[in-house]
Amino acid sequence: MDKTEERIQSLTEHTYGTWRAQKGWKKPLFIKDAEGVYMYDQDDKRYLDFSSQLMCSNLGHKNKVVIEAIVKQAEKMPYIAPGFAQEAAVNAVEALLTVMPKGLDRFFFSTSGTEANEAALKILRQYMAPKYKVISRYHSYHGGTVAGVTFTGDPRRWYAERARCTVEGVRFAPDAYCYRCPFGLSYPDCNIQCAEYVDYMIKEEGNVAAVLVEPVVGTNGRIVPPPEYFPRLRKICDENGALLVADEVMTGWYRTGPVWAMQNWNVMPDILTTAKGCTGAYAPVGITVTTKKIKDYFEEETMCHGHTYSFHPLVLSAVAPSVAEYKRLMATGLPQRIAGYLEKKLYELEEHHECIGDVRGMGHFWALEIVKNRKTKERFDTKADKFRKVLMPDRIAGEALKRGLYTACWYDTLMIAPPLIITEEQVDEGIGILDKALEIADREVVHTDTPGSRSSGAFK
């Protein structure tokens, strides 16, 4: 056993691997460096990062501007308690005000997306009292804290419920999932039933304080709603006196094109949460954003939330330079150009692989849904299979990793979400590796003569 293997063994023996049975936390790949859109293992083998790690490294790796800002803050003042005013927080607020939708301009800073959602729950329940129920959706992920995992619709919630680590008052609505419509309908003749059912739920449940959504579903499939969905949902919330909360932890920061995914539909939520890309993942920041009206409520009421690392100056020092770097990058036109190129290449990939049931997404935020039978949409694996066995997307991603491509996956999808700095040549590199890796699933599909379907994809 060489020195690196010994260190990996020491790590896995003395730590908990996340979201897994611990027998699967034995031989993780050792990454010693990362730069641009690549990461490197102990043998200097290069891997193209096709998922921006966990859909967070939007600026790529080793952005010098962001790193220098963090270093300067570490040298100047790495920590001060959240009750003090300090320059890093002021700079972060001033930068955020230049990119936030008009009217969303009151901030609470924490250290992760799940904490941003936890803060949102406390704020909205105090503000909306005695209403307290929150409607989320079945294909959703909102974090690992007690509130975040309760909001979550994917299998991780089942384990939290088993451990009694959930909060009360969360209900789940059907998804705007056109490829597998929960109502068995087809767009555009569906009357956007997925939105109308939320209206029915609010009226039947009573005491609904808010509807919480990922604008484009993230981990659970890059599900893009039809264009009428969010304008209608905004109206439903207004008519029923409920807040609309947008979890833009993954979809924010130009991931789907504009700064915020909700801007694709010209809809403004009452509360927006974000994290990940707000620092390019260089520092752990979570941001909960509200309207002035909500904050004004707490002028006399106690805003009963906070923790030691709220408004942490070291992590907040990465926000303002990240905002500046996004603006510089978007001004080059590269992300806008690559978004169209990536879409084209993914649809071409679909034509060559019968295991791809659906290609869907926006901007630099895509999914390939992997199916056993394209005609019937039969899956290789189901939600209940997650955490129980090695799934087909795991096998495909594993093969891709051997060939030098990192892509995240879930129980039925591969996640294609490269950094915004990726070029055409690098997209071609990633697609070429995926083309080979997908052959694993192609060998096990039920063959049909049905051509590739593009019935979902990106609504335009």
270-281 pLDDT, tens digit each: 999 999 999 999
The pLDDT of residue 404: 98
Residue 35 has pLDDT above 50, yes or no: yes
pLDDT above 90 (res 160): no
Which token pair is 20? 């897994």
Amino acid at 80: I
Q: What pLDDT is recorded for position 19? A: 81
Could you report the per-residue pLDDT of 109-128, keeping only the tens digit for each?
999 999 999 999 999 999 99
> In the predicted model, is pLDDT for residue 200 greater than 70?
yes
Distances (CA, A) of 206 to 112, 128, 134, 138, 175: 31, 13, 11, 20, 20
- What pLDDT shows up at residue 455? 46
Question: Residue 164's pLDDT band (boundaries 50, 70, 90)?
Answer: confident
Q: List, for residues 38-83, the tens digit of each pLDDT value.
A: 999 999 999 999 999 999 999 999 999 999 999 999 999 999 999 9
Give mean pLDDT, residues 186-196. Answer: 97
Kindly indicate the confidence band of residue 1, based on its pLDDT and cuts at 50, 70 and 90.
low
Residue type, position 127, single letter: Y
The pLDDT of 356-379, averaged and rounded, is: 97
One-letter amino acid for residue 294 of the chain: I
* Residue-range domain boundaries for the chain: 3-62+332-442, 64-328
Degrees, nearest 5: CA angle 248-251-254? 115
Q: State which CATH number among 3.90.1150.10, 1.10.8.50, 3.30.70.120, 3.40.50.300 fits the domain covering 3-62+332-442.
A: 3.90.1150.10
Residue 49 to residue 157: CA distance in whole angstroms: 28
Report the pLDDT value the prediction gives residue 382, as an integer from 0 to 100. Answer: 85
pLDDT for 459 equals 53
Strand pairing partners for 31? 41
Taking residue 340's Cβ as centre, other Cβ atoms within 10 Å add up to 10
CATH of range 64-328; options 3.40.640.10, 3.20.20.450, 3.40.50.80, 3.90.25.10: 3.40.640.10
Residue 371 sits at the vertex; the CA angle it makes with 365 and 375, to the nearest 5 degrees, is 115
pLDDT for position 458: 54
Q: Which tens digits make up the pLDDT trace of 303-339?
A: 989 999 999 999 999 999 999 999 999 999 999 999 9
pLDDT tens, residue by residue, 81-113: 999 999 999 999 999 999 999 999 999 999 999
At residue 131, does pLDDT exceed 80?
Answer: yes
CA-CA distance, 412 to 217, in Å (whole number)? 14
Cα distance between residue 119 and residue 303, in whole Å: 10
167/459: higher pLDDT:
167
Closest among 348, 283, 368 to 319, alpha carbons compared? 283
Model confidence, pTM: 0.94
Under a CB-based contact definition with an 8 Å cutoff, are residues 226 and 176 in contact?
Answer: yes
347 Cα distance to chain centroid: 22
- Tokens standing for residue 205: 């449940």
| pLDDT at residue 211 is higher than 70 | yes
Per-residue exposure over 93-102, b if at least 16 CB sit within 10 Å of its own CB, e if not: bebbeebbbe
Structure confidence at residue 26 (pLDDT): 86
Judged against a pLDDT cut of 50, whether residue 366 lies above it is answered with yes
211 vs 214: CA distance, rounded Å: 10
Predicted confidence at residue 21, as pLDDT, reads: 84
